[in-house]
Structure 1
């Protein structure tokens, strides 16, 4: 399965990032989450491309992008490193300033990108997350059960890699189906692509390093950024049935992190772009076409 866009791999300082580019107009970068690829946007991207230049990219470690070693302190999969990749991709495509829309892990990369590269990120949409630092500061038994995979994937000694590699297809399908309630079903072709990409042992290892970074070096970077909220227009969307929607006051969680914030619940569970594509697209189009300064 592919988007109806032009595909290319772009060298981001030695890391080849797979992306699909389509449409014409103001640029918008779409970033996916775990355990998916850019194809999570297969409903949304073509609609956005009617009025925007859309770049749907695979994060490093995911999809058909490179999967480099993590290096010391998991820094190779810090959100800072992953964000820099995508900034370089957009520059290579001729875009110095652009909008970013991220779901799940991609939203965390987008958040770090807006902090580290404020001149590049014109506006930011984060789908079904609250900030990483906020999340770790509010861990309880409910979170430990609902988001057990954060702790499992961050475990050391190769434990999650070995266990997932035993049956990656089961892990993918079970993990995703447990976070989907009603709405549009997952496209079988998209699911097959998620399974194909994630069945690579290098992808399994890289995604674990993503979560290890989140529990370590990302928190260091987030602490350094504390007290410096985003100034760009920021949209938070969340699933009204998702763990995020059921657990947090999402806008209250984001307010200390973003000065120009708005948001709404979408009738879905976690996978907004696939479960509720029409509502997600409408909310994103409204935000992307909103004049800066209006709210």
Structure 2
């Protein structure tokens, strides 16, 4: 499955990033989450392309982007490294300033990109997340049960890699269907694409390193603090764990200067479950 855009493989340092590029207008970078690829934007990206130049990428370790072998520190999958990839992509495409929208892991990459490179990010939209540091600092039994995969994927000794690798299709479908709250059904071709990409053992290894980095080196980077200075839009699913657990706007207002947002009629996967509402919210925010 592909977006109705042009595709490029763009070299940024030690990785090659898979990009879909379409539309005309101010640039918008779209970042996906776990366990998807840029295809999560297949409903939203064509709508945004009516008003923006849309760049939808696969994060390093995911989709058809490079998958560096993780080191013991997992620094290769820190959100700082992943954000630097995306900055490199946009600079190579000729964009010194751009909007960013990130879902799930992509939202965390976008958050780090906004903190590290405020001169480049004009506005940031984060979909169905609160900051990583806040999440770990407020973890409890409810979080452990609802987001058990954060701890499972971060486990060592090759445990998650071995278990997921036995049946990656089951893992993908089980994770996604357990967090779908009605609305637009998942597109079977999109699910097939996620399974195709995630069936690569290197992708499984990389995604585990992503979560291990979140529990280690990302927290070290986050400890330095910093506030998002550009406008921030927080969107979340009214049926999602995030929406039912946190006061999302209040949390983000502790991390950003100018915050607005709303719940959408979905669970976790806003761009696929509530694509029209997601596109409309992003269009309004990025043109305001």
**TM-score of the superposed pair, with normalisation by structure 2:** 0.99
For the aligned residues, what is the CA RMSD?
0.5
In 2, Cα distance between equivalents of 1:221 and 1:196? 33
Aligned match of 1:184: 184
Runs of 4+ in 1 over 3 A off after TM superposition: none
In 2, Cα distance between equivalents of 1:174 and 1:10? 32
- Number of corresponding residues: 288
Q: How far apart are residue 256 of structure 1 and its match? A: 1.1
Q: How far apart are residue 72 of structure 1 and its match? A: 4.2
Counterparts in 2 of 1:196-215, with a 5 A limit?
196-215=196-215
- Residue 15, structure 1, aligned to residue 18, structure 2: no
Aligned match of 1:53: 53
Counterparts in 2 of 1:219-258, with a 5 A limit?
219-224=219-224, 226=225, 228-258=226-256
In 2, Cα distance between equivalents of 1:72 and 1:176? 29
Aligned match of 2:281: 283
CA deviation digits over 1:267-291, x for unaligned, max 9?
Answer: 100000000001111111000100x
SS at match of 2:149: helix
Q: How far apart are residue 42 of structure 1 and its match? A: 0.2
In 2, Cα distance between equivalents of 1:182 and 1:114? 32
Q: How far apart are residue 181 of structure 1 and its match? A: 1.3
SS at match of 2:223: helix
Q: How far apart are residue 70 of structure 1 and its match? A: 2.0
Aligned match of 2:144: 144
- Residue 103, structure 1, aligned to residue 111, structure 2: no
SS at match of 2:261: strand
In 2, Cα distance between equivalents of 1:191 and 1:51? 28
Q: How far apart are residue 69 of structure 1 and its match? A: 1.7
In 2, Cα distance between equivalents of 1:72 and 1:109? 21
SS at match of 1:70: coil
Point out where structure 2 has 5 or more consecutive residues left out of the alignment. none
SS at match of 2:253: helix
In 2, Cα distance between equivalents of 1:276 and 1:236? 15
In 2, Cα distance between equivalents of 1:236 and 1:127? 6
Q: How far apart are residue 71 of structure 1 and its match? A: 2.3
- Residue 271, structure 1, aligned to residue 269, structure 2: yes
